[in-house]
A and B are shown apart, each in its own frame.
Chain A
Amino acid sequence: MKTILFAASLAVLGAAASGAAKAENTKRDANAHLYIGWPNNGEVIRGPSVKVWFGLRNMGIAPAGTDLPGVGHHHIIVDAPIPDSAEPIPNDENHLHFGKGQTETVLTLAKGVHTIQLNFADKDHLQFDPPLVSKKITITIK
Chain B
Amino acid sequence: MKYSVLAALLPLVMFPAALAAEPSPPDSRAYIVWPKNGTVIKGGKFWLRMGLKGMGIAPAGVEVAGTGHHHVIVDSELPAFSEPIPNDPNHLHFGKGQSEARIELPKGTHTLQLLFGDTGHVPHEPPLHSEKITITVK
Contact = CB atoms under 8 A, between A and B. Distances in A.
Nearest to A67: B62
Nearest to A99: B56
Interface stretch (B5-13, B91-99, B103-111): B91-99
A66 B56 contact: no
Interface stretch (B44-52, B82-90, B125-133): B44-52
A76 interface: no
B74 to A, nearest CB: 20
Nearest to B95: A60
A62 B52 contact: no
Given A68-B62, A103-B51, A104-B53, A63 B33 contact: no
Query: Size range of the interface on A?
Result: 20 to 34
Interface residues of B, number: 23
B21 interface: no
Interface stretch (A18-26, A48-56, A127-135): A48-56
A104 B57 CA distance: 11
Given A61-B99, A63-B67, A55 B62 contact: no
A57 B47 contact: yes
A61 B99 CA distance: 8
B64 interface: yes
A57 B51 CA distance: 13
24 contacts: A37-B49, A55-B100, A57-B102, A60-B59, A60-B94, A61-B98, A63-B64, A66-B58, A66-B64, A68-B59, A68-B62, A70-B96, A71-B59, A71-B96, A98-B56, A100-B66, A101-B56, A101-B64, A102-B52, A102-B55, A102-B56, A102-B57, A103-B52, A103-B57
